[in-house]
Structure 1
């Protein structure tokens, strides 16, 4: 590209550093992302930024996508290009922003990993041999029983649990929303065992449902580590993240009930499209249900 085009890019990066006070990492990312666009311009003999059209930006992003670059990375590259062109517009070095209405290809949605019912049983029926394991079992039972998020489990306080009513209150879920959830019988029993031990561990003023050996609230990271330790000690080979219990809750409940709206409410999803991802996890099962139940699914012999 022409020297004045390179100078414009240098001025933009300097502005990011001095006026916007962007980090060195951010500036490197912008330089790299716009560097990919420069290589496209060189391949098309485009000498200056003002010569780039919307069709060029689309072609550039499409080419990057064919190279296997993820949608998330392409969105970031487009954001960098838009910011650069907004700078050029302010400096009157461009007449329009060719990246303004260009969108990155949609990311294919990854299906969440789940455990089957036998794996869940193996995880939760491994037995306990210490006070901390009694606590851990209560956490994991409650996680799977009520489909909680990790942050929601860690935030639970004693006042949020109503064992006689077999329910719990999530006071501040994602987006600040609250919801009331049922607690299954196995989780109730595990919680009763833990609450009898909690009296010996919790600090006097501590309101948290789950506390550490120091008597203070157990944080999300500690819960993750306890699950990993539980799996190692119980001989469970698969690497489990706490949210796999939430995903398994959703998948198993949807498989049994086929009630998407109810599962949406229990998970605390604002949009049902988020819940619909679980319908893809066991399509074969749903197809079998359809074949057996639908009056016109089978041809008459």
Structure 2
């Protein structure tokens, strides 16, 4: 329910009512008379009552763990779940790992998955004489599919006022592509309701539907709520409004990164000069896939050895580095392809009507390049950007410069790369070693 002092005071007055801080819900025992109290107080604000089915939100099957063992489970959300008896020394080490979380309800620790962290936990466990069992969490049951326009008798499209406000506030093309279908999913979830009649109750019901029925990720749910909030807050007169929808906490994971040798394998196996130039540009300059697609020819400044990235994420401009090897590769590519306006253009591009390259085509280039290597990790085009930042850090580049090259407005977004790399620690000298004792 929405956070309301009067409502909370009423619920607290029910015997044994309690707040579940993990599921963000109030729990009231099903004693005689309690349901009638709730009906009488909340009235038409109640949206759903399940009478024939008991829903246990907190039930998670937990295996029995002996005192001398540790169970490590790799979850579907790319984290490691650690189950073991009370071992202070192991707990102390876990607390040093970034984004470690203690689940008070289920009594287990979770940390981001990485080979480094898995190795650290295994080493500490072995030193403490713990028997290690490693498992992978089975795939979860898929939720129902998203409603498609052809499946609805009267599919409601996004109103012009919504689209116009997105353009007026100069939201990026990617944000528009994300928000519009999400908002359409929301309004079509209530086919019998007019757009003007939708309110907080509908937002909460739709959010619950995304979690329980669609089984979407936390990032999808967050973006859906943002798309809906945009309509109520920006389109409807720009009036600021609060929505008491419990937002899911994003579980922190570490990005996948390729080693320098793996990057070499990927790029060396590409014969097509244009394809090689595309992936080389993304890696050597730390670009997002959308930034590469939107690079005009004049973004390459060979005099200053820089690449100008205009109107990137968050409508920000920035400069990033131009590699000497990339410049040579681009010159060879230019002589062969002769692009008209965009640095990389798609099929059918002409001087009068230049056509941008597509993100789908770039993904296919990487997929084909990976098939020629023995790399088994999940590598995407964005992995090249993560690898760029990590390799700069490993080679001694200051974190502030990396932040500027990536276009991060918040330093915390850049600091994640310090948790990935292990290089450089051997060069750090303890202050004790400099003392003459």
TM-score, length of structure 2 as denominator length = 0.46
Q: State the partner residue of 1:86.
A: none
Q: State the partner residue of 1:259.
A: 398
Return the alpha-carbon distance in structure 1 between the equivalents of residues 344 and 413 of structure 2: 29
Listed as ranges, the matches of 1:154-173 within 5 Å are 154-173=293-312
Q: Is the 8 A contact 1:160 1:170 kept in 2?
A: yes
Q: Deviations over 1:170-192 (max 9, x none)?
A: 11111111112221122112111
SS in structure 1 at match of 2:314:
helix
1:187 aligns with 2:326: yes
SS in structure 1 at match of 2:357:
coil
| Structure with greater proportional helix content | 1
Structure 2: unaligned runs, 5 residues or longer: 1-34, 49-188, 227-241, 350-354
Q: Deviations over 1:71-121 (max 9, x none)?
A: 668979999xxxxxxxxxxxxxxxxx9x95x96674332111010010011
Q: State the partner residue of 1:243.
A: 382
Return the alpha-carbon distance in structure 2 between the equivalents of residues 227 and 298 of structure 1: 49
Q: How far off is 1:124 after superposition?
A: 1.4
Q: Deviations over 1:17-60 (max 9, x none)?
A: 334466xxx959716728x99xxxxxxxxxxxxxxxxxxxxxxx
Question: Among 195, 198, 210, which residue is 2:344 paired with?
Answer: 210
Q: How far off is 1:208 after superposition?
A: 0.6
Q: Is the 8 A contact 2:267 2:369 kept in 1?
A: no
Q: In 2 relative to 1, CA 77–262 (structure 1 residues): closer, same or farther, beyond 3 Å?
A: closer
Question: May I ask how many residue pairs the two structures share in their alignment?
Answer: 236
Q: In 2 relative to 1, CA 185–16 (structure 1 residues): closer, same or farther, beyond 3 Å?
A: farther
SS in structure 2 at match of 1:186:
helix
1:288 aligns with 2:288: no
1:33 aligns with 2:185: no
Q: In 2 relative to 1, CA 286–158 (structure 1 residues): closer, same or farther, beyond 3 Å?
A: same
Q: In 2 relative to 1, CA 135–254 (structure 1 residues): closer, same or farther, beyond 3 Å?
A: same
| Highest RCO, 1 vs 2 (Cα 8 Å, sep ≥ 6) | 1
Question: RMSD across aligned C-alpha pairs, in angstroms?
Answer: 4.1
Question: After alignment, is 13-22 or 70-79 more displaced?
Answer: 70-79
Post-superposition, which runs of at least 4 consecutive aligned residues in structure 1 deviate over 6 A?
13-16, 73-79, 298-301
